Structure 1
Amino acid sequence: MNMASNYQEDSDEGSNQSSESCSEFSDSDTDSEPATDSASDTEAAAQTSDKRNVCMHYNRGNCRFGDKCRNEHICSYFLKGSCKYGAGCRLNHNLQSSSAGQRRQASRDSSADTDEECDGPYRWQLNFGKGWENISNDHILEAQYSLPNTKGIKIYNTRAGVISIDFTKMRVLQKKNIKVRRMNSKDTEWLWYYRGDHCWYQFGGKGKKSPIESSKLETGYQSNRRGSVKFTIDSVQYEISFKGMCQTNLSTGHKRRVRRRPKYEQSKSGGLQGIASHMKNLLNPPTNRTPVWQFKGSKQWYTFKNTGGCSVSSADIERCYQQSQKTMNFTVNNDSYTLDFAKMSQVNQSTKAERKIRRVEK
């Protein structure tokens, strides 16, 4: 697929995809709600010991969804081993059978939970309805996807115009006829992160104490992608749910988001410096207007100005960016900060708090 694509990321901070967030959680909480069945006939659905979601309306003989029902049309007494009608029962006793709607749901769940393999370290592809096509310069997507704080990315100049890819759901937003997938090598190293109060922390990485390694979480995830892992910190027990991608303090019930991202493999185009060079040309749609650099505040974006204690202006950052430098240091009221052009972020060197930055045309 020969595409001249521009890329712009959508990070946690300021993401306008509010429909993908769980309203009862704070900024340090999970990405999505615990998975539940949305069909209206599940109000009285029984869940047996082997975790089969049974449609109780079917068992009563009045399921209005028929073959489209997402719950299983099977005799609940048969599953319990207590159906008095035996082979003469009018309800389904076939353990391998289910409604068409549930088979479609199972197919979606299976595809969402499977990592497609390829020969190289990774490959990003789009499907516009006529088969999978490679995305050019996909190392830029990979670099952003490997960052736990990045929720998604926008790609410009595709055959369908601007499309937004949601990394947490691995889907194209608002365009149901377009699909996206990431293929990876079987040797891909996956890293696990949790959302702290100020930034993301890697399990088993440097920084805050973590009693469990990313490798152990990955082993548990590969064993049962809808399961969970428990661990203890200072006598407090926590549980990580792979299905909900969240970490729960079992004492207080407080939840934090958890993400699984690949360890970034340096591209052949020059690593982070090469990415910065590509992003300089591809980050925003073509325009002749003067670019302005901004940082993300708690509620809106602010332009860098050499006032109020800030040592750099937007023009200063643009000059540094045009020189293809990887980072830039500056101060605000004697606090030191570092801009990272590959990650498009600024980091407070004292607190390690991270904010997103962007380059826009005004």
Structure 2
Amino acid sequence: MSAAIPYSHTEYNHWQGTPGQSATVSWKRYEWQLSDGHRYLRIDNDHVIEAHYCQPGAKGITINTASHGKVSIDFDRLQTQSAAVRVHRLTFLPQGQAEDIGWYFRDDKIWREYGSQGTSSSVSSVSSTDIEHQFTLNPQGAFSFTVGSISYILDFSTMTQTNHHTGVHRNVRRRPKFISTASHTGSLLSASVLPTASSSQLPATSYKWEFMGEEGMWSEYQAHICAYDSAAIERQYQQNPQGQLHFRINRFSYTLNFSTMQQVNNSIGTPRAVRRTAVDGSQQNSSVGAQPQWQFLDVSGIWNNYFKGHDGCSISSQDIEIQYQQNPLGTMTFTTVNFNYELDFSAMTQRNLSTNTTRSVRRI
């Protein structure tokens, strides 16, 4: 991996540089692109990347592309795992309008925004707006502020905060505030309005739509079961890639959300991951690309997958992934035959609520 590229070199305000694009992206203020060294091409469904990038606790994301295969993006460096593939994020802002930026520091296990109350019950004397102003003036500089009677220095070049008295360092992150495309007034634009060149887009062909069944098995939608087969779902998707599709199976109603690539049982709220795959086997989109697996480290030092039903476990790896995507800094509880547990995403640990025994957890 090459040296870190400063934010100012990888996030571009593209409004004035390409005036002709203003009508195209007026509802969307960002675009993620990949380059193979020759040209940058937009990434399909980049709202998934943007939603993760705006989470201060997210270190990165792995996506699947037709041109480059699996690509891992480091959010702190704004780089990929390969020096041959570069990534950048464009911003499209009207003249005189600034992007809403949040600045966060790592307070023990939680990322907190400046200006909010931390574990010390004291509120920082500076806000995200104050810090962003200083950063804009000098992205490689530093400035001091106070929390109560304690003074700190925030170093933009190292993205760290240092306590003047104790010398303790804390990591700092700068992330935009996420704005869903659905929050804008007016109807959502169809895919045909967006730029057509794409690093993950294949020529027009047929696609297979599948949902994640029990224990990580993908199942294709069948018309005789839910009234929609892959072809029918694809037609709805082409009309509005950010829309929803509603259907019934027996006594239950479901919503298929194209923007999040999830199927939700409207009665009990159970979500399932969904993916769209070209007939040649190239995966086009899913909730976050290939479905990650969640594992815990047992007493013998062996990593074990989470399996629903095994020893009475109430969750599967897919259930954990869905909760993680909703809140990468949150927690969730589950049960086995004899015990209740808490899974902490920020600490990546599993804790027995009866014995307080803690085990390491990983996402692969």
Give the TM-score, by structure 2 length: 0.52
Which residue in the other structure is 1:179 paired with?
86
* Structure 1 gaps, min length 5: 1-16, 21-31, 33-107
SS in 2 for 1:115: strand
Which residue in the other structure is 1:157 paired with?
65
1:258 corresponds to which of 172, 175, 179: 172
1:167–1:141 Cα change, 3 Å: same
Letter in 2 for 1:112: H
* Structure 2 gaps, min length 5: 16-24, 183-241, 245-256, 264-272, 276-285, 354-359
Which residue in the other structure is 2:13 paired with?
116
1:303–1:110 Cα change, 3 Å: closer
Q: How far apart are 1:243 and its partner, in Å?
A: 1.0
Which residue in the other structure is 1:125 paired with?
33
Which residue in the other structure is 1:4 paired with?
none
User: CA offsets, 1:181-226, max 9 Å, x none?
Assistant: 1012334211011112112111123654431211111111111111
Q: How far apart are 1:150 and its partner, in Å?
A: 1.6
Letter in 2 for 1:159: S
Alpha-carbon distance between aligned partners in 1 of 2:344 and 2:150, rounded to the nearest angstrom: 35
User: CA offsets, 1:119-174, max 9 Å, x none?
Assistant: 43110011123322110000010011111122222222331222222211112222
Which of structures 1 and 2 has the bigger CA Rg?
Answer: 1
1:285–1:232 Cα change, 3 Å: closer
Q: How far apart are 1:305 and its partner, in Å?
A: 5.4
Q: Which has the higher contact order (CA 8 A, sep 6+)?
A: 1
| Higher strand content, 1 or 2 | 2
Which residue in the other structure is 2:142 paired with?
228
Give the TM-score, by structure 1 length: 0.53
Q: How far apart are 1:310 and its partner, in Å?
A: 8.3
Alpha-carbon distance between aligned partners in 2 of 1:310 and 1:235, rounded to the nearest angstrom: 52
Residues 11 and 91 of structure 2 are in contact (CA less than 8 Å); yes or no, is this contact kept in structure 1? Answer: no
Letter in 1 for 2:34: L
Matching of residue 205 in structure 1 with residue 95 in structure 2:
no
Residues 64 and 290 of structure 2 are in contact (CA less than 8 Å); yes or no, is this contact kept in structure 1? Answer: yes
Q: How far apart are 1:275 and its partner, in Å?
A: 2.0
Alpha-carbon distance between aligned partners in 1 of 2:140 and 2:350, rounded to the nearest angstrom: 35
Which residue in the other structure is 1:330 paired with?
333
Alpha-carbon distance between aligned partners in 1 of 2:114 and 2:99, rounded to the nearest angstrom: 17
Between the aligned residues of both structures, percent identity stands at 28
Q: How far apart are 1:111 and its partner, in Å?
A: 5.5
Residues 190 and 218 of structure 1 are in contact (CA less than 8 Å); yes or no, is this contact kept in structure 2? Answer: yes
Matching of residue 144 in structure 1 with residue 147 in structure 2:
no
SS in 1 for 2:181: coil
Alpha-carbon distance between aligned partners in 2 of 1:347 and 1:267, rounded to the nearest angstrom: 35
Q: How far apart are 1:302 and its partner, in Å?
A: 5.1
Alpha-carbon distance between aligned partners in 1 of 2:14 and 2:350, rounded to the nearest angstrom: 34
